[in-house]
Amino acid sequence: MSNTESSDSLITTDVETGSDEHAVAPDRTAVAARDLNVYYGDEQAIDDVSMEIPENRVTALIGPSGCGKSTFLRCINRMNDMIDICRVEGDVEFGGKNVYDADVDPVALRRKIGMVFQKPNPFPKSIRDNVAYGLKIQGFDGDVDARVKESLKGAALWDEVKDQLDSSGLELSGGQQQRLCIARAIAPDPEVILMDEPTSALDPVAASKIEDLIDDLAEEYTVIIVTHNMQQAARISDRTAVFLTGGRLVEYDDTTKIFEDPEEQRVEDYITGKFG
Residues in the interface with ligand ATP (CB under 6 A) total 12
Q: How many CA atoms lie within 13 A of 31 on its CB side?
A: 29
Task: Rule CB under 6 A: say whether 40 interacts with ligand ATP.
Answer: yes
Alpha carbon distance 39, 75 (integer Å): 11
Answer yes or no whether residue 71 interacts with ligand ATP by CB under 6 A: yes
Using rule CB under 6 A, residue 227 touches ligand ATP: no
**Residue 65 interacting with ligand ATP (CB under 6 A):** yes
Residues 174 and 119: their CA atoms lie apart, in Å, by 9
| Residue 68 contacts ligand ATP per CB under 6 A | yes
Asked if 42 is part of the footprint of ligand ATP (rule: CB under 6 A), the reply reads no
Q: Is 146 exposed, middle or buried (0-12, 13-18, 19+ CB in 10 A)?
A: exposed
Min separation Cβ 86 and ligand ATP, Å = 7
Contact between 70 and ligand ATP (CB under 6 A)?
A: yes
**Residue number with CB closer to ligand ATP (61 or 187):** 61
- 246 in contact with ligand ATP (CB under 6 A): no
The minimum distance between CB 185 and ligand ATP, in angstroms, equals 19
Residue 194's identity, in one-letter code, is L
Q: Does 83 bind ligand ATP (CB under 6 A)?
A: yes
Find the part of the chain contacting ligand ATP (CB under 6 A) among 2-10, 61-69, 87-95, 101-109: 61-69
Cα Rg, the chain, nearest whole Å:
18
User: Of 16, 56, 15, which Cα lies nearest the Cα of 223?
Assistant: 56
Cα(209)–Cα(212) distance, integer angstroms: 5
- Spatial distance between the Cα atoms of 165 and 131, rounded to a whole number of angstroms: 10
Whole-angstrom distance, CA of residue 273 vs CA of residue 86: 31
Do the Cβ atoms of 250 and 50 come closer than 8 Å? no
Q: Which stretch binds ligand ATP (CB under 6 A): 49-57, 60-68, 134-142, 163-171?
A: 60-68
Q: Is 117 in the site for ligand ATP (CB under 6 A)?
A: no
Q: Of 6, 21, 66, 171, which one interacts with ligand ATP (CB under 6 A)?
A: 66
Give contact residues for ligand ATP (rule: CB under 6 A).
Answer: 40, 45, 63, 65-71, 83, 85
